[in-house]
Chains A and B, each alone.
Chain A
């Protein structure tokens, strides 16, 4: 079992819908990253968080340390949000390394 599990694996939505992508992890962490990768493109860091909630534009990331769970929400989704969203955790025991989820492929249809 992967230390970082994302759900769903694939997600198709209509433009304007509210989207939630979930990430669960099984280890103690010092931080969690949400990353975005467009087809054929590099990876962009969306959020890094260790507690609570962060918001940037239409994106919101939350984390519950006790439940070892994080969610990425996209409000008023748009076709340009279509990408792979990756959750990564930085474990306490090795601050230099991150463990990555397999990613959630999001497709937003116009």
Chain B
């Protein structure tokens, strides 16, 4: 059974703390993504990576950084958490596109972060 695992389902942090969100996939996927999901705003892409040590900014990268040292692991880092980063964070992975067929997305269970 294919799996994307996020390290924490629920986190509570204080303003200014450094936060690490970990995501691991066991499908040997090249592409990995971090999204945040907020009511009324839907899913928004923060960063994605299409290979080890490669990263691309998504639509809302400000305040976040990422790390992809190994193919199976993609980490999202909040250097100094702020209250407006309270959100549900979702990791996803996929194989790269082959011609017109692009890879199906597999999502983790999500990490709900509250910043006080």
- Residues of A whose CB lies within 8 Å of any CB of B are 30-31, 33, 35, 41-45, 48, 50, 86, 88, 90, 95-98, 100-103
Using Cβ atoms and an 8 Å threshold, which residues of chain B touch A43? 90, 92, 107, 110
Using Cβ atoms and an 8 Å threshold, which residues of chain A touch B44? 100
A97, B97: Cβ atoms under 8 Å? no
B45, A97: Cβ atoms under 8 Å? yes
Say which size band chain B's interface belongs to: 20 to 34
- Residues of B whose CB lies within 8 Å of any CB of A are 31, 40-45, 48, 50, 56, 58, 90, 92, 96-97, 100-102, 104-110
Taking the closest CB of chain A, its distance from the CB of B115, in whole angstroms, is: 19
Q: List 5 A-B contacts (CB under 8 A).
A: A45-B107, A86-B42, A90-B102, A95-B96, A97-B58
Using Cβ atoms and an 8 Å threshold, which residues of chain B touch A50? 100-102
Using Cβ atoms and an 8 Å threshold, which residues of chain A touch B108? 42
B101, A102: Cβ atoms under 8 Å? no
B104, A33: Cβ atoms under 8 Å? yes
